[in-house]
Amino acid sequence: MSIAELFIRRPVATALVMLAILLFGAIGYRALPVSDLPNVDFPTILVSASLPGASPETMASSVATPLERQFSTIAGLDSMTSSNVQGSTQVTLQFNLSRNIDAAAQDVQAAITQTSAQLPQNMPSPPSFRKVNPADQPILYLALSSPTLPLSEVDEYAETFLAQRISMVSGVAQVQVFGSQKYAVRVQLDPRELASRQLGINEVENAVERGNVNLPTGTLWGSHQAVTVQANGQLTDAAAYRPLIVAYRNGSPVRLEELGQVINSVENDKIASWFNGTRAVVLAILRQPGTNTVEVVDNIKALFPNFRALLPPAVSLNILYDRSVSIRDSVRDVKFTLFLTITLVVMVIFLFLRNLSATVIPSLALPMSIVGTFAVMYLLGYSLDNLSLMALTLSVGFVVDDAIVMLENIVRHMEMGEGVLEAAFRGAKEVGFTIVSMTLSLAAVFIPVLFLRGILGRLLHEFAVTIGAAILVSGFVSLTLTPMLCSRFLRPRHGEKHGRLFNAFERIHQGMLRAYDVSLQFALRHRLATMALSLVLVVATGYLFVKIPKGFLPSEDTGSIFIFTEAAEGISYEAMVQHQRLLADIVSQDKYVDNVMSSVGGGSASVAGNTNQGRIFIRLKPRATRPHVDQVIEELRPKLATVPGVKAYMQNLPPIRIGGQLTKSLYQFTLQSPDTEELYRSATLLEAKWRDVPGLQDVASDLQIKNPQINVVIDRDKASALGVTAQQVEDALYTAYGTRQISTIYAPNNEYRVIMELAPLYQRDPSALSLLYIRSNSGQLVPLNVVAGLTATLGPLSVNHLGQLPAVTLSFNLKPGVSLGNAVKQVDDLARANLPTTITTSFQGAAQAFESSLSGLGILLVMAILVIYIVLGILYESFIHPLTILSGLPSAGFGALLTLMLFHVELNLYGFVGMILLVGIVKKNAIMMIDFALEAQRTEGKSSAEAIYHGCLIRFRPIMMTTMAALMGTLPIALGFGAGAESRRPLGLAVVGGLLFSQVVTLYLTPVFYIYMESFQQWVARVFGKGREPALATPPEAAIATPGAEGLPLQGAGTRAPHLASTPPSATRR
């Protein structure tokens, strides 16, 4: 008993099984999370360390190098980069995809602990780490501002209450604070006042440290009561510090307020941020790698009522950007595309069948297959994202094929006079093998994807499993539900008269069939020319593949733009603020811009950067009211270029950020060498060469080595003679100019710093160094200029490492119409021609992933073809027939590549997926034709030419049906509308173009190829003395050379319309 017969005999059981599939599928659908893409995040950990006032070189040598040396011993480490700027170090550790991020975090913590003894002892806190990719795009921007409260109070709410509570939300990795204005007390000394009172700067520092204490003071234990002892050693604000006595001169106290200003200020007064032109504190929330963006954002938004109740009315909380909005829009549009596709496919079925019950029966395979796949997705932990929904949308076009084949064969038996139940039994049994072969061979095309590693494997794994599950579920439905419904609801309607619409469609079909008959005979008479055409297609496909522009991921419109701004090295903070505000004003005035966040500087606990750098984040207006984000960028580019003294590097942030470096432009190329002099010279030379490449724009470098510096050269002999040590000299300089944190104020909810420095007036000119005095070991007050000299020079503003070696990263963007493949080749050629062999180069981030994808996807395509050949060979027990079935692949590739080129779309990752999908789709025509021909040769004794000729004509209508269904299933994706359409369109165009061209070509190429393969098989049989002999002595030409072939008794040919006008005999296998 076949599986179909079992379900035909038990309709109640069949209905309940299908109900169970619907029920569990519906439950799975409701529980599936929503995301933009599958989890393709590399496990990434960011280690941060700070030493206020330290130079980039000091941070690199004393902080980054010991940490890197220890981190390099951690298993599974894929890449390690470090960025060292003034007072701050960030080390980014990126692990391979198989590494568990929690286990890696434990190893990182152990490495930090082991390195602690080698780090500078005056670091305010040990290095910390977070499970976050610093190059990732924040999922949520929040802006807090107030027209009345000082920014330090706004910052208190932002950092102490909101940021800490948000950090506790599951999935949040880090809350970056732009424009942090954390409260601090600043002691700004006047060196002239110090000199007039014979005070060294180190004496003032010691006095402040001793004057602000918060120590345990004990408890009084009485016989009946215990009393806690408290002292007022803690000073909490500037007013309390001003009367602090520093020393006595001539019997009179010298108070701190006499030596300069003591003010309530902020920790870092060289950073600022604005929200729509108003000073604000901006929180940027980054998620942990591997977490769901929509879920994390929803959990954060659930806290908003509590936040608004906590904040005073004078503080406004605004959402600058919400990544989940564009994700939901994209997923909603894919859902609409899926619904539209289902509607179009059902319409195609009805147009061909023109019978309601016959249309409903195969159409039921659509919801059953899709809803059943939701249950599989839930069990495997997948999400409703663009790729999984695209997989379901694509599957709509061919999951009905099996049901159509089943329905058509059952109807044929009914037309032969059999009862409905008997026709269902026999028809289902005959095509069972055909359905199994079509289903398994189509699902098998995705088996190689499951073994693909790296980011491509992660990205395509969910797509492959989802579409494979839909195909397998549809095969099961076609073998169970479809024959049962046919046995209960189909009724023979012999002699029924049809309406005008029916007859009109039938005349169109008969005309197409006659035209195909004539053209097929012509192709079979000119077989050599047909085979020559196929060879031409193979060569043309290879040529197009070489010539077509290649990319990695298409540019998507997420409604946001990121601008990295940079001015000359050494620019003052005030001048940089002026430049930044000019740029932000230009952006704000654009008619397509909704919200703007602008920030300057860095060096805070959560944001690293230099004073000559800034960031602008733009939230655009809804997509319906503006052009594509790339067009907005091109319109803004010349406007921003009018601001002198600053460069603006604009990025359309990609949906997937690969790599751990946030550079000024998207695509990265890194140079490494232990010889920094040669490295810096070569990087500068290559950057200049890049600027002459026509297809590149926004060429940038992270090399900053021309920052004005003052070198204090200590005369060690003279210093020793005067009792002054080098440590005292550097301590004095650190206190004067390094925003040194000399004490801490402990509050109930936070800790605040006391910072000592020279008054701003004396920080603008190197001559102020001569006014500094140091108390020597002998008690003598020594002017700094006595023991040290000053020299002006240039030095680095940042020092970067990659894998423990000094590195320089060049980055670039592509001009409109330029492919990444061409740009990568030009960049690589320039590097080979201009760099010495001692310089090691490599692409990073998306460019590196693109390079690896070219070979990876090519291997994947070859493996998919081999797997299908193996599956077909097993099913047909033949080495020859799988080649015949796969003979249409070159035409599919040619059609896909030609379509992409005609629509000026590059061959990117999604287009390549479409070509892999074509490998599984285009063979269906050949299977239907060859199955019939083999059966005719085996049971009726026909020659190979006659059998394949009859098979082509009889299978013409179901081939047209399945082809149109597949096209309608892909056409909405190819049209590319809605959010995220940029990713779907290349895939849809590749499938539509490949299907249209290959389905026409295979109608002629497959029968010719079949005849040659049969002849070859017979020749092999004669040579080796086994195998079957030709069934007929009539030569192939005789069977097709005369018009008499048109009179063959074929259902679907001639003038008699078969029942339902869509059910010519199927290929059968008994």
Residues 387 and 260 in one domain: no
Alpha-helix runs per DSSP H in 548-675: 573-588, 629-640
Digit-coded pLDDT (tens) for 239-296: 999 999 999 988 899 999 999 999 999 988 888 999 999 999 999 998 887 778 888 9
Give residue-wise pLDDT tens across range 707-765. 888 888 988 989 888 888 888 888 888 888 888 888 999 988 888 999 999 998 888 87
Q: What is the mean pLDDT of the chain?
A: 84
Does 203 reside within a domain? Answer: yes
Nearest to 371 by CA among 399, 412, 410, 404: 399
Kindly state whether residues 259 and 363 are assigned to the same domain.
no
Top-confidence residue, 1001 or 925: 1001
Tokens of 838: 């001692």
Has residue 898 been placed in a domain? Answer: no
Q: How far is CA 431 from CA 384, 844, 1053, in A?
A: 34, 52, 21
Give the alpha-carbon dihedral of 467, 470, 474, 476, to 10 degrees.
110
Model pLDDT, residue 1056: 33
pLDDT of residue 980: 67
In three-state form (DSSP H/G/I as H, E/B as E, the rest C), the secondary structure along 320-373 is EEEHHHHHHHHHHHHHHHHHHHHHHHHHHHHHHHCCHHHHHHHHCHHHHHHHHH
Q: Is the predicted pLDDT of residue 544 greater than 70, yes or no?
A: yes
Place of tokens 């069948």: 353
Which residue carries 């402990």 as its tokens? 746
- The CATH number of the domain holding residue 245 is 3.30.2090.10
CATH assignment of the domain containing 402: 1.20.1640.10
pLDDT of residue 19: 92
Q: Based on the domain organization, do 258 and 363 belong to the same domain? A: no
- Of 779, 795, 811, the one marking the end of a domain is 795
Tell me: do 261 and 375 sit in the same domain: no
**pLDDT at residue number 540:** 92
Q: Which residues contact 34 (CB under 8 A, 6 or more apart)?
A: 292, 294, 295, 327, 328, 331, 383, 384, 385
Q: Provide the residue range defining the domain that includes 723.
A: 183-215+233-266+707-795
**pTM of the shown model:** 0.80
The first and second tokens of residue 631, run together, are: 């067009």
Cα 1013 from Cα 1032, distance rounded (Å): 17
> What does the angle CA 9 – CA 11 – CA 13 come to, to the nearest 5 degrees?
105
Q: Is residue 234 predicted with pLDDT exceeding 60?
A: yes
pLDDT at 607: 57
Listed residues 795, 812, 831: the one ending a domain: 795
Rama region for 803: left / alpha / beta (φ>0; ψ in -120 to 50; rest)? left
Does residue 773 form part of some domain? yes
Q: What is the pLDDT of residues 1009-1065, one digit of tens each?
A: 888 888 888 787 777 765 444 443 333 333 343 333 333 333 333 333 333 333 333
Q: What's the domain count of the chain?
A: 2
Cβ neighbourhood burial of 173 (10 Å; 0-12, 13-18, 19+): buried
- Which residue, of 491, 509, 532, is where some domain finishes? 491
Is 754 inside any structural domain? yes
The predicted structure's pLDDT at residue 109 = 93
Flag whether 644 is in a domain: no
Query: Greater confidence, 480 or 849?
Result: 480
Are 400 and 963 a contacting pair, CB within 8 Å?
Answer: no
User: pLDDT band at residue 641, thresholds of 50, 70 and 90?
Assistant: very high
Residue 723 lies in a domain: yes
pLDDT tens-digit map of 111-159: 999 998 899 888 888 898 888 776 678 889 999 999 999 999 999 999 8
At 352-384, the pLDDT tens digits run 777 777 788 888 888 888 899 999 998 988 888
pLDDT-based confidence at residue 304 (cuts at 50, 70, 90): very high
Residue 498 — very low, low, confident or very high, per pLDDT cuts 50/70/90? low
Encode pLDDT of 472-489 as tens digits.
998 888 888 888 888 888
The mean pLDDT of 641-662, rounded to a whole number, is: 84
The HSE-up count of residue 1045 (CA atoms within 13 Å, CB side) is 25
Q: Is residue 318 part of a domain?
A: no
Give a yes or no: residue 426 inside a domain: yes
